[in-house]
Structure 1
Amino acid sequence: MTADVVPLKRPEGQPSLDPMLGLTAPGMNAVNAVILDRMQSKIPLIPALAGHLISGGGKRLRPMLTLAGAEVVGYNGTRHHKLAAAVEFIHTATLLHDDVVDGSDLRRGKAAANIVFGNPATVLVGDFLFSRAFELMVEDGSLKVLKILSNASAVIAEGEVDQLTAQRQIETSEERYLSIIGAKTAALFAAASRIAAVVAECDERREQALDDYGRNLGIAFQLVDDAIDYDSDASTMGKARGDDFREGKMTLPVILAYARGSEDERKFWQAAIAGHRTDDAALEEATHLIARHDALLATRERARHFASRAIDALSIFPDSAARRAMAEAAEFAVARGY
Structure 2
Amino acid sequence: MNINEIKKYLGEDWKKTEGYISGAVKCEIGLLDSTNRLILSHSGKQLRPLLSVLVARACSGGKATDDSCRYAAGTELLHNATLLHDDVADDSDQRRGAPTIRAMMGPTVSVLIGDYWLVKAMELILDADTKNDRVIRMFSKTLSDLAEGELLQLQKAQSGDTDETDYTKIIFSKTASLFEAAALAAAISVEASAQIEEAVKDYAVSLGLAFQIKDDIFDYSPEMKTGKPAGVDILEQKITLPLLGAFANAGKEAEMSIRRKIINIADNPDGIRDEILSFVRENDGLGYARKVLDKYIEKAVSALEILRESPEKEYLKELAYFTGQRQS
Is the contact made by 1:31 and 1:84 (CA closer than 8 Å) also made in structure 2?
yes
Is the contact made by 1:105 and 1:111 (CA closer than 8 Å) also made in structure 2?
yes
Corresponding residue to 1:49 among 35, 60, 64: 35
Partner of 2:14: 28
Displacement of 1:285: 2.2
Displacement of 1:265: 6.6
Q: Percent identity between the aligned chains? A: 31
Q: Tell me the secondary structure at the aligned position of residue 220 of structure 2.
A: helix
Q: Residue 306 in 1 paired to residue 313 in 2?
A: no
Is the contact made by 1:168 and 1:275 (CA closer than 8 Å) also made in structure 2?
no
* Most deviating of 164-173 and 223-232: 164-173
* Most deviating of 28-37 and 307-316: 28-37
Corresponding residue to 2:94 among 87, 101, 106: 106
Is the contact made by 2:175 and 2:209 (CA closer than 8 Å) also made in structure 1?
yes
Q: Tell me the secondary structure at the aligned position of residue 228 of structure 2.
A: coil
Displacement of 1:18: 6.1
TM-score of the pair, normalised by structure 2: 0.92
Partner of 2:204: 214
Partner of 2:244: 255
Displacement of 1:264: 5.5
The amino acid that maps onto 1:253 is P
Distance 1:22 1:309, change over 3 A: farther
The amino acid that maps onto 1:301 is K
Is the contact made by 1:99 and 1:112 (CA closer than 8 Å) also made in structure 2?
yes
Displacement of 1:208: 1.2
Structure 2 distance, partners of 1:215, 1:227, is 18
Structure 2 distance, partners of 1:208, 1:244, is 33
Structure 2, unaligned runs of 5 or more: none
Partner of 2:168: 178
Partner of 2:147: 157
Higher relative contact order at CA 8 Å, sep ≥6: structure 1 or structure 2? Answer: 1
Q: What's the Cα RMSD here?
A: 2.0
Displacement of 1:276: 3.1
Structure 1 distance, partners of 2:194, 2:144, is 22
The amino acid that maps onto 1:216 is S
Q: Tell me the secondary structure at the aligned position of residue 230 of structure 1.
A: coil
The amino acid that maps onto 1:134 is M
Partner of 1:118: 106
Partner of 2:76: 88
TM-score of the pair, normalised by structure 1: 0.89
Partner of 1:285: 275
Displacement of 1:299: 0.5
* Most deviating of 18-27 and 106-115: 18-27
Partner of 1:62: 48
Partner of 1:6: none
Structure 1, unaligned runs of 5 or more: 1-14
Partner of 2:305: 315
Distance 1:323 1:41, change over 3 A: same
The amino acid that maps onto 1:125 is I
Partner of 1:241: 230
Q: Residue 197 in 1 paired to residue 187 in 2?
A: yes
Q: Residue 228 in 1 paired to residue 218 in 2?
A: yes
Aligned length: 323
* Most deviating of 189-198 and 152-161: 152-161
CA deviations on 1:15-74 (whole Å, 9 max, x unpaired) are: 665664454454332222222111122322222333332211411000011100012112
Distance 1:322 1:19, change over 3 A: farther
Displacement of 1:105: 1.0
Distance 1:76 1:110, change over 3 A: closer
CA deviations on 1:241-294 (whole Å, 9 max, x unpaired) are: 321111111111122223433645742442134323554443332221111111
Displacement of 1:218: 0.1
